[in-house]
Amino acid sequence: MKEIKILLIFSFLLSGLILNAQTKEDSLAIEKACRDYVEGWAEGDMERVANGISQELVKRSIAKDKEGVCFTTSMSPSHLKFATKRNKEDGVRVKDLEPDKDFKLHVIIYDICGDYATAKASNTKYGFFDYCQLAKFNDEWKIFNVMWGWLPPNN
C-alpha cells in the first residue's frame, strides 16, 4: 500500500510538470529573440534587433558618478536602433576584450512561465551581460525589459 501511495504522489507531481512544460519551439524562439537583440546590435543589423525587441522595450543599467554615487541609465528602443546603426557604420564602440576571437553570445533561459520568460545573454568579447525579460506577444517572443551590466573581471 505504501508503494502505491508513493507511486500516485510521484505520478501526480510528474503530470503537473508535464502539463506546465514549455515546448522546444518556445525555448528556441526565446533564444532567437535574445540572439537577434544582442547579435543584431553587434552586427549593426537593425532588422534583427527589431525582430527581438518590443517597441516598448525598457533597457536600464546602474552606473556611478565620480564620487561613487549610483544612478540609473536608460535606453529607449529608438536609442538602441541608433546605436545599432552606428555599429554598422563605424564598428562597435565598446572595447574589444578579445580581439583575436569572434563574437560569441551565451544564452541561458532561467525560467519560462506560460507566456513570460527570463533569460541571460552574455559575451566575453565586449564584456557585458543582459538580463532579458520576455513575453509572448501576438504569438512572438519579444524582449520587453533589459537590465544590463559589465561582467566582473575573470567571469
pLDDT of residue 11: 52
pLDDT of residue 22: 75
User: Which residue matches cell numbers 544564452?
Assistant: 107
pTM: 0.82
Q: Among positive and negative, which fits the CA dihedral 21, 147, 35, 143?
A: positive
Is the pLDDT assigned to residue 63 strictly greater than 60? yes
Q: Cα separation of 76 and 56, whole Å?
A: 8
Is the pLDDT assigned to residue 6 strictly greater than 60? no
Strands across the sheet with 53-64, in order?
A: 70-75, 53-64, 140-150, 128-137, 116-123, 106-113
What confidence tens digit (pLDDT) does each residue in 109-136 have?
A: 999 999 999 999 999 999 999 999 999 9
List domains and CATH numbers for the chain.
Answer: 22-150 (3.10.450.50)
